[in-house]
Structure 1
Amino acid sequence: MFNIMIIDDNEQLQNEIENVLINNRYSVTKVKEFNNIPELVRSSNPHLILLDINLPQDDGFKICTEIRSFSKIPVIFVTSRNTNIDELMGITLGGDDFITKPYNTQILLARISSLLKRAYPENKSMDIIEYNGLKLNILSSTIENNRNVVELTKNELKILHYLLNNKGKIVSRVDIMEYLWDSSLFVNDNTLTVNITRIRNKVEEIGISDFIKTKRGQGYII
């Protein structure tokens, strides 16, 4: 599954774009702190970036230039600035496309799909994630190990996928619940506990133990 990073300080717009992307089988990373975006890009390593120009600290042009110093990740400027000079600067400084707000959702999705196909022609499937013996199939909502296959519910799939996308990092319960809320899948604290327990049981069912670890007072880590 391709991961799209949204760099925009308009939270409502971020959430709207995120819902569209998730409904079209993308995973999403939303930037909430704007003081060191290039390092966040470096550590998160998304497959594509949607970048606004007007941001609280450095503008999108400077950020794109800094990203281009270490990465060829596709960048689409998505902005309300619509002059020819803005578009020319965006492309000249390393942007791959330029879309003005308000935009047509289907056109945005088509531009994203086109760029991903060009940037990752060798990719056969981003719908399968493998880690430490576990294979998560996004399309079939299943986990597998040594031909043992178990189905996941929608919430279980979202939670496990989120944890895998953040493997090696501690993910707080609040982060998981906010992620599910933004995906239109609301869970409360008790429901999250139940889902984590069920995921652990299903992972053990396919022969993998201690896959999701609890960090007391902090959250979970894979």
Structure 2
Amino acid sequence: MKKILLVEDDLSLIEGLEFSLSKHNFEVTVARTVQEARGRFHDGIYDLVILDLMLPDGSGFDICKMIRQTSDIPVIFLTAADEEVNIVMGLDIGGDDYITKPFKINELVSRINAALRRSAAIKEQITELSSNGITVKLLEGRVIKNGTDIDLTSAEYRLLCLFMQNPRIILSREQIMQKLWDSRESFIDDNTLAVYISRLRDKIEDDPRHPSFLTTIRGMGYKWHVM
């Protein structure tokens, strides 16, 4: 099930979209203000964002700019403002598509699916992750730090890729376990995850006792910092 962050302040529209999108097998999280959207985005992992342009405390443009600082997930503007200048501005700052109110739900779903397909095609072309002096060559399954290969287990490798693909985002323990381990590895729990995190730090951190790349956010989870 694909996860969508819907940023909209119209309650009647929210209710209709939640119902209709769930019928199309999308899981919808709602934010009604810029401030709430920032919090929701940083606390979760989403496949696509739908942004209303006019919000009580700011603009969908502000949220799009924030998203593009750390993520390339698809962004669709949903707005009644169909003036060309707003459409062009939205696309210029990183929006992938727009749809103007009123609209038909089937058209929105079609645009969502098209944006997700484009995003998946682009991700398939990514062959390398790089930050903090660490490079992951995805096609080769190699991890290199400052020119030297690092030997990681399968679990450590998957963890590192997940964090590097989600920089500056707090990932909860539940999110990590859901993303990386299926029912065949249901024995994975918080303690086991903590051991994997510790072992990964031993191999990638300059000072594992005082990690600067992969830090623990007390009571929330873990975050990958980009230096």
Q: Does 1:55 align with 2:51?
A: no
Partner of residue 146, structure 1: none
Bigger radius of gyration among the two: 2
Alignment check: 8 A CA contact 2:8 2:31 kept: yes
| Pairs within 5 Å for 1:1-222 | 1-32=1-32, 34-121=34-121, 168=174
Runs of 4+ in 1 over 3 A off after TM superposition: 166-169
Q: Distance in 2 between matches of 1:78 and 1:89?
A: 14
Which secondary structure does the structure 2 equivalent of 1:82 belong to?
coil
Query: Which string of whole-angstrom CA distances, capped at 9 and with x for unpartnered residues, describes residues 157-192 of structure 1?
Result: xxxxxxxxx8749xxxxxxxxxxxxxxxxxxxxxxx
Flag the structure with higher strand content.
2
SS at match of 1:46: coil
What are the ranges of 5 or more consecutive residues in structure 2 without an aligned counterpart?
124-171, 176-183, 190-227
Distance 1:93 1:31 in 2: 21
Q: Report how far residue 122 of structure 1 moved.
A: 8.5
- Inter-partner Cα distance in structure 1 for 2:173 and 2:29: 14
* In structure 1, C-alpha distance between the alignment counterparts of 2:46 and 2:31, rounded to whole Å: 12
Q: Deviations over 1:10-35 (max 9, x none)?
A: 11111111111110111111114542
- Normalization by structure 1: what TM-score? 0.54
Equivalent AA in structure 2 for residue 87 of structure 1: I
CA distance in structure 2 between the aligned counterparts of 1:76 and 1:11, rounded to whole angstroms: 19
Distance in 1 (alpha carbons) for counterparts of 2:34 and 2:93: 20
| Residues 1:122 and 1:80: Cα distance change in structure 2 (over 3 Å) | closer
Q: Would you say the 8 A contact 2:3–2:28 is kept in 1?
A: yes
Distance 1:167 1:9 in 2: 30
The offset of 1:38, in angstroms, is 2.7
Task: Find the aligned partners of 1:38 and 1:73 in 2 and give their Cα distance.
Answer: 15
**Distance between the aligned counterparts of 2:122 and 2:110, measured in 1?**
19
For 2:63 and 2:82, the matched residues in 1 are separated by: 18
Count of residues in correspondence between the two structures: 135
TM-score (norm 2): 0.53
What secondary structure, in the 3-state scheme, does the structure 1 residue paired with 2:35 have? coil
- Following superposition, the deviation at residue 114 of structure 1 comes to 0.6
Equivalent-residue separation in structure 1 for 2:51 and 2:32 (angstroms) = 13
Greater CA drift, 81-90 or 33-42 = 33-42
Q: Deviations over 1:99-131 (max 9, x none)?
A: 1000121111110001111112499xxxxxxxx
Give, in whole Å, the separation in 1 of the partners of 2:26 and 2:43: 19
Which residue does 1:189 correspond to in 2? none
